[in-house]
Amino acid sequence: MTQSIRKVVFPVAGLGTRFLPATKASPKEMLPVVDKPLIQYAVEEALDAGMKQLIFITSVSKRSIADHFDKNAELEAELEQRGKKALLETVQKIVPDNVSCIYIRQPEPLGLGHAVLCAKPVVGDESFAVILPDDLINGGEKGCLKQLIGVNEQQGFGVLAVEKVVKEETNQYGIIGSNPLFDRVSKISDIVEKPAPEDAPSNLAVVGRYVLPGKIFHFLENTPRGAGDEIQLTDAIATLLQSDSMLAYEFKGKRYDCGSKLGYLQATVEYALEHEELSDGFKRYLQTLCPTLS
């Protein structure tokens, strides 16, 4: 029987240079998509998947992330006094009482693999999840991490969320080689970080959701710097594959690459179109820009 996964790591130490100057003094993970910061979508997906310990790997100038998930007594008192009940509830329920937030500093920007390794003292040798908040995933009824955990619970192996990308973009992702097992699930045979299209084992790209066994830390500790002179999670997974099976799962849902301005704008438009209060007004506005929009 597999043990339940309750710990999730959010690597949020990156500088976010692609969004400068917006991210000069504010973390990229705090960029809002409509009315919630990106990191809150990631946390909601983790809570929906049953996570109880949220482990944030942070760095300097990321304090507002911790503030966002902390109680703001002054704000709550003010909302209470003004009778703004709905808003009060919105800010109070961001993190339920039975869930804890843990913040660990990554002292140097040594890469995603190193960031994940920083969680070792809290995770220990248990299996755990990783969510990269840049990849915003609308999984519809079942969040992407919940889908992955379902596969892990059934099969008992680590699982990576993957999606097909165009061949020219393989150099932006971890790319897997794999053998199909059954619907949406395949067994990973190979994984390479950001290969050139001609060297890529396929066009199946790893997106920012992972379920990993605790022994990945051992491999991370022994992983030399790789692509971009950084310690790559992908390289540690490649070593793990020599002794352990890992699965890839083509998740259901839509991913927005919110690490890029275009992906971020696409997410903003589509989440606004689905937003309870904004949907109708925003659609009418878009129709004035593009009269053929249905």
* Residue 43 CA: distances (Å) to CA of 61, 243, 253, 277: 20, 32, 17, 22
Q: Which is nearer to ligand G1P, 208 or 213 (CB)?
A: 208
Provide φ and ψ at 250, rounded to 5°: -80, 100
Q: Which is nearer to ligand G1P, 8 or 88 (CB)?
A: 8
- 271, two tokens: 């989440």
Query: Smallest Cα–Cα separation from 160: which of 175, 172, 181?
Result: 175
Q: Which is nearer to ligand G1P, 88 or 112 (CB)?
A: 112
- Residues 58-117 touching ligand G1P, rule: CB under 6 A, are 112
Cα separation of 137 and 257, whole Å? 9
Query: Smallest Cα–Cα separation from 230: which of 136, 113, 101?
Result: 113
Q: Please, are residues 249 and 185 in contact by the beta-carbon 8 Å criterion?
A: yes
CB of 293 to ligand G1P, least distance (A): 30
| 205 touches ligand G1P by CB under 6 A | yes
Size of the site for ligand G1P (CB under 6 A): 14
| 27 touches ligand G1P by CB under 6 A | no
Answer for which of 173, 219, 249, 271 binds ligand G1P (CB under 6 A) is 173
Query: Smallest Cα–Cα separation from 271: which of 159, 127, 180, 136?
Result: 136
| 131 touches ligand G1P by CB under 6 A | no
Q: Which is nearer to ligand G1P, 151 or 257 (CB)?
A: 257
- 152, two tokens: 């892990």
| 132 touches ligand G1P by CB under 6 A | yes
CA dihedral sign, ordered 180, 185, 186, 192: positive
Answer for which of 27, 174, 213, 226 binds ligand G1P (CB under 6 A) is 174
Cα separation of 192 and 234, whole Å? 7
Answer for which of 193, 220, 231, 258 binds ligand G1P (CB under 6 A) is 193
CB of 174 to ligand G1P, least distance (A): 3
Answer for which of 49, 116, 118, 206 binds ligand G1P (CB under 6 A) is 206
Task: Kindly list the residues in this chain that would bind ligand G1P in the complex (CB under 6 A).
Answer: 112, 132, 135, 173-174, 193, 205-208, 232-234, 259
